[in-house]
Amino acid sequence: DVLLSAGTPQMQTMWVILVQAGSLRARMLQVIPDAFVPDPHPSPVREVRLDIEGFPEIRALRDEVRRLRAEVSWKDHEVVAQSAPMQRLQARAQRVAASELPVLIVGETGSGKELVARAIHEASDRAAGPFVAENCASLSEGLLASELFGHEAGAFTGATGRKRGVFELAHGGSLFLDEVGDMPLAVQAHLLRVVQEGQLRRVGGESTVRVDVRLITATHRDLRGLVRDGRFREDLFYRLHGTTLELPPLRQRREDIPLLIDHFLLREPPARKLELRPAVLDVLDNYPWPGNVRELRAEVMRWKVFCHKRVELEDLSPELIAPKAVGPGDAATQGAACAPGTTLASAVRSAERAAIESALRTHQGNLSRTANALGIDRHTLKRKLASLQLARDLCKGAG
C-alpha cells in the first residue's frame, strides 16, 4: 500500500495519483475532505481505492492530454492526412492509441507503416517508454529469434555473452514488428507464447523474463490467406489483429502529395523552398507511385540536391515521365501518352523497364522481393534484366 498524508488543515493538501491502468491501493493517514474520498464515513486511518475514473475533472484533463498528444504525434511523424482515407485512418489510430489493444497495420511497402506505428506509440500512455522496431523479413530464423527474444552466452556459435532482445529493450513501451507475415513458423510459436504469457525465455536460457510491451505489427501480405495456406499460425493471427488499420497506398490518396512534398522540403533537413511548375505537379499526380511515400520522399530529397529555385520537368527522375505500370495491388490500368511515332512494342518495353527499375530501387536491389512485388518469378526477372540491359549496380544477390 501507498501511505498518503494530508498534512495540516492550513496546507489544504490534495493527493492526486495518476495510474497508467486500473487502480491503486492507498492508505490515508489523516482525515481529508469527503469530496475527494469515495468512503462517506471519515476515520483517522482509512483505506481508499483510488481510481482516476472517480475524478471527472482529472479524467477530462487526461483525455485532453491524450487528444493533443495524438494530434502532435501524427504531425511530427510525416503522417499527412488531408485525404479522406487518411483522415479516417487518423481518427481510428488515435482511438486505438488510448487503449492497450495490439494493432496490425496492413499496407504496401513504403506506404508509411512504421510512421503510423510511431505516431500511435507517442499518442499513447506509453509515450515516455521506448519505441523499438524490428523487421522480421530481414533475418534468418535463428538470427530473428535471437533479435526478438535475446540469447544467453554460448547459446550458439559466436554468442560470447548475454544479449537482450527487442522485447526486453521495449519493456514499458511499444514494440513494432514489421513484415510479420514473413516470420518463420518456428519463431511464430515463440512469439505466441510471449504474447499470451507476457514472458519470454532467451535462446539458450532456462529462466523466464517478464516483459511489458504494447505490440504493433505490420505486413504487406494477406495474413488470412497465409493462415489458409498454413504459412501463418491462426492462433497468433487472432492475437495480433486486435485492431487492424489499413494504410492506403499513395496513388489512392493523391490529395496528400503536395502536403507531403512541403513536409519533405521544409521539415526535413536541409530545409529548402522550391517552386514546382504546374507541369511537374501534373506528372506527380498521374504517376502511380509503386514505392509509395518512400519513393516520393527519395524524389524530393534528390530535388534538394540538384534544383536551385524551382523544379522543372527535366529535373524529374526518368521513370516518373516514362509510361508506367501500376503499383502492386492496384487492379486499375494506367494509360500513358506516347510521343508521335512510338510503336506499341517500344512503349511496352519502356513501361516494363521503368516498372522494374522502380521496383528494384524500392526493394534496394533485392531480386527476390522485386520479383514478388512485380508478380513474376526470380528467373523471369533475371532474364528481363539482361534483355533490358539494366545496370547491375541496381541489383544485389543477382547470382
Domain finish residue from 213, 246, 279: 246
On whether both 95 and 242 belong to a single domain, the answer is yes
Residue 248 has pLDDT above 80, yes or no: yes
Supply the pLDDT for residue 132. 97
Supply the pLDDT for residue 34. 45
- Per the structure, the count of domains in the chain is 4
Q: Enumerate residues 6+ apart whose C-beta is below 8 A from 300.
A: 260, 261, 264, 265
What is the C-alpha to C-alpha distance for residues 367 and 93, in angstroms, rounded to an integer? 34
Residue 40 has pLDDT above 50, yes or no: no
- Domain membership of residue 4 (yes or no) is no
Q: What is the CATH number of the domain that holds 192?
A: 3.40.50.300
On whether both 70 and 158 belong to a single domain, the answer is no
What is the C-alpha to C-alpha distance for residues 377 and 252, in angstroms, rounded to an integer? 27
Q: Which residue has the higher pLDDT, 27 or 246?
A: 246
pLDDT band at 125 (very low <50, low <70, confident <90, very high): confident
Residue 94 has pLDDT above 70, yes or no: yes
What would the pLDDT profile of 139-185 be if each residue is shown by its tens digit?
888 899 999 999 888 878 777 888 999 999 999 999 999 999 999 99
What is the C-alpha to C-alpha distance for residues 128 and 140, in angstroms, rounded to an integer? 32
One-letter identity of residue 309: K
Distances in Å between the Cα of 102 and the Cα atoms of 115, 194, 344 are 16, 13, 50
- The structure's pTM equals 0.65
On whether both 128 and 203 belong to a single domain, the answer is yes
**Which has the closest alpha carbon to 277: 315, 237, 226?**
315
What is the C-alpha to C-alpha distance for residues 128 and 295, in angstroms, rounded to an integer? 31
- Alpha carbon 346 to chain centroid distance? 39
What would the pLDDT profile of 311-361 be if each residue is shown by its tens digit?
999 899 988 886 444 444 443 334 444 555 555 456 667 777 888 888 888
Taking each helix axis from N to C terminus, what angle separates 56-76 and 113-122, rounded to the nearest 10 degrees? 150
Domain containing 384 equals: 352-398
What is the C-alpha to C-alpha distance for residues 240 and 185, in angstroms, rounded to an integer? 15
On whether both 19 and 150 belong to a single domain, the answer is no
Q: What is the CATH number of the domain that holds 288?
A: 1.10.8.60
- Domain membership of residue 338 (yes or no) is no
Residue 4 has pLDDT above 70, yes or no: no
On whether both 154 and 176 belong to a single domain, the answer is yes
Residue 63 has pLDDT above 80, yes or no: no
pLDDT band at 68 (very low <50, low <70, confident <90, very high): low
